[in-house]
Amino acid sequence: MESKYIPEPYKIKMVEPITLLPKEERAERIKEAGYNTFLLRSKDVFIDLLTDSGTNAMSHYQWAGLMLGDEAYAGSENWIHLEETVKDLFGFKYVVPTHQGRGAENLISLILIKPGMHIPGNMYFTTTRAHMELQGGIFVDVIRDEAHEPERDDIPFKGDVDLEKYEALIKKVGPEKIPYICVAVTVNMAGGQPVSMANLKAVYEMSQKYGIPVIFDATRCVENAYFIKKREPGYENKTITEIIREMFSYSDGCTMSGKKDGIVNMGGFLAVNDEDLYRQASGLVVVYEGMPSYGGMTGRDMEAFARGLREAMDYDYIRHRVEQVRYLGDNMSSLGIPIVKPVGGHAVFIDARTFLPNIPQNEFPALALAAAIYEQSGIRTMERGIISAGRDKEGKDYYPKLELVRLTVPRRVYTRSHLDYVVDSVKDVFEKADNIKGLEWVYEPPVLRFFTGRFKPL
C-alpha cells in the first residue's frame, strides 16, 4: 500500500496546547451538547476535525501582514492588494469582497435567481442551496451518478457534471429558467471529489451554447487543481497557478470562501467578468456586508487573505495538504473502516451506513457515530447525512444517499502523530460498533438544522 508520508513543509514557531479530558468527562460533555458535535466547547476537544473552515494556521508571512492592516473606511491598501491578487490568479475583471463564502452566495443568488428558477449544480452544498431556496430557486443535482456511490474508487474525477443530466434539464425547463450553473471545485458534499479540466471545459461550452452563465464555487479550487495535476493527462508539468488560470477561464464568475483554500480564518469574495453584475453586487454588498472595498473584512484580514492565496498556489504546500488527507484515509481503509473512495482533498468521510448497519437513516447513524468518536477519543468530527440535508419545501426530510461522518483536516495544523491517533481511535470505535445506539430529536431548528439541533439516544 502506498502510505508514504511527506514530512510537513513547515516548522512550528508558536504552539497552542490541547488536552484530552478523562473518559467520564467526555461522556458528560457530549450529553450536554445534545449529542451534536457542533455544540461542544472547543476547549473540551482534543483533536478538532469538525471542519477545515477558518481553522487554518497562517504563516509567519501572513501574521506579519496583519501588522500592515490599513483600516481606512475606503480605499484600503490591503483591499487593493487583495483585489489585484484575485484578478491576477483567477483572471476575473471584477472582485467584490464579502465576510465569507456565504456572503458571496447571498449576493449572486439575490441578483440572478427569481422564484421558480432552476439552478443546476454538481451536488448541493448546505449554505449555497439555502441561499438559492431563499430566493425561490430550485436546486437540481447534475453530478455524475457515481458521486453518490461511496465504494466506487475507480473514478478519478467523481465531481464531474453529467452533461446529459444538465442538457436534459435545459431542455425540460428552458434556458431562460436557468440563471446560472453552479460548479463546485472540488465537491465538498461528495467527499472533496475533484472535477476534471475536460469536464469544466465541456460544461462551459454547453452553457455558452444555451446562454447560461457558469459560476464556480471556488472554495476548494487549489485542491482541485492539485488533483488535475496528479490525475489528468497533459497537466503533470503545469504549475498550480497555470492550472487555476485555465480552470477559471471556463467560468463567468465565482464565489469563494477564503476560510478554506485562502488559508485564512475569515474572508471571501465574489468575482465576475460582467460589468452590470458587478455594479449590482457592489450595490448590494453595501447593504449586507460593508463597503465594496472591505465587504465585512478588516484591512488586516484582507492582507492575510491576499498572502494566503499566493501561498496556497505553492506546490509543496498543496501536495502535503492533500497527501496528508490521503494518508489518514489509506490507513483507515487498510483496517477495513468503510470510507468514501477515492479519498478527496480536505477530508476523510466514513460511510456511516456500512459502519453502523443496524441503525436506520431516520435514527441518524452518522451523528450517532460522530458522538461515539468524541466519547472514545476527544476527536471532534461532523455529521454529513440526513441531518445536514434538511427538509424540502413541503417539510419532508431529504434522504441523501450518502450518510457520512466527516473527518476534516485543517490546513497546516496537525502532524502525522495526530493523524495516527485518529486512526487508532476510529479503529477502537469500529470494534465496538454494536454498542452504538441511534438518536432522536429533542430540538429541531427550522433552517440549517445541523448547526444547533439537539438529540438524545434512543
Task: Write out the catalytic residue numbers.
Answer: 73, 125-126, 217, 260, 384, 450
Report in angstroms how near the CB of residue 257 gets to ligand PLP at its nearest.
3
Report in angstroms how near the CB of residue 54 gets to ligand PLP at its nearest.
7
Report in angstroms how near the CB of residue 128 gets to ligand PLP at its nearest.
6
Of 124 and 327, which CB lies nearer to ligand PLP in the complex structure?
124
Please give the grid coordinates belonging to residue 55.
481553522
Report in angstroms how near the CB of residue 248 gets to ligand PLP at its nearest.
16
Of 118 and 384, which CB lies nearer to ligand PLP in the complex structure?
384
Of 102 and 307, which CB lies nearer to ligand PLP in the complex structure?
102
Neighbours of 447 (CB within 10 A): 12
Report in angstroms how near the CB of residue 97 gets to ligand PLP at its nearest.
13
Of 259 and 320, which CB lies nearer to ligand PLP in the complex structure?
259
**How many Å apart are CA 54 and CA 263, to the nearest integer?**
7
Of 29 and 412, which CB lies nearer to ligand PLP in the complex structure?
412
Report in angstroms how near the CB of residue 189 gets to ligand PLP at its nearest.
8
Cα–Cα distances in angstroms (integers) from residue 333 to residues 3, 180, 349, 375, in the given order: 11, 38, 11, 22
Residues forming the site for ligand PLP (CB under 6 A): 53, 100-102, 125, 127-128, 184, 188, 217, 219-220, 257, 259-260, 268
**How many Å apart are CA 181 and CA 168, to the nearest integer?**
14
CB 44 within 8 A of CB 29: yes
**How many Å apart are CA 420 and CA 417, to the nearest integer?**
5
Please give the grid coordinates belonging to residue 217.
464555487
Of 118 and 260, which CB lies nearer to ligand PLP in the complex structure?
260
Report in angstroms how near the CB of residue 269 gets to ligand PLP at its nearest.
10
Of 217 and 363, which CB lies nearer to ligand PLP in the complex structure?
217
CB 113 within 8 A of CB 132: yes
Of 268 and 295, which CB lies nearer to ligand PLP in the complex structure?
268
Of 100 and 333, which CB lies nearer to ligand PLP in the complex structure?
100
Report in angstroms how near the CB of residue 336 gets to ligand PLP at its nearest.
29
Q: What is the 3-state secondary structure (H, E, C) of the chain?
A: CCCCCCCCCCCCCCCCCCCCCCHHHHHHHHHHCCCCHHHCCHHHCCEECCCCCCCCCCCHHHHHHHCCCCCCCCCCHHHHHHHHHHHHHHCCCEEEEECCHHHHHHHHHHHHCCCCCEEEECCCCHHHHHHHHHCCCEEEECECHHHHCCCCCCCCCCCCECHHHHHHHHHHHCHHHCCCEEEECCEHHHCCECCCHHHHHHHHHHHHHHCCCEEEEHHHHHHHHHHHHHHCCCCCCCCHHHHHHHHHHCCCEEEEECCCCCCCCCCEEEEECCHHHHHHHHHHHHHHCCCCCCCCCCHHHHHHHHHHHHHHCCHHHHHHHHHHHHHHHHHHHCCCCCECCCCCCCEEEEEHHHHCCCCCHHHCHHHHHHHHHHHHHCEECEEECHHHHCECCCCCECCCCCCEEEEECCCCCCCHHHHHHHHHHHHHHHHCHHHCCCEEEEECCCCCCCCCCEEEEC
Q: Which residue is nearest to ligand PLP (CB)?
A: 101
Report in angstroms how near the CB of residue 82 gets to ligand PLP at its nearest.
15
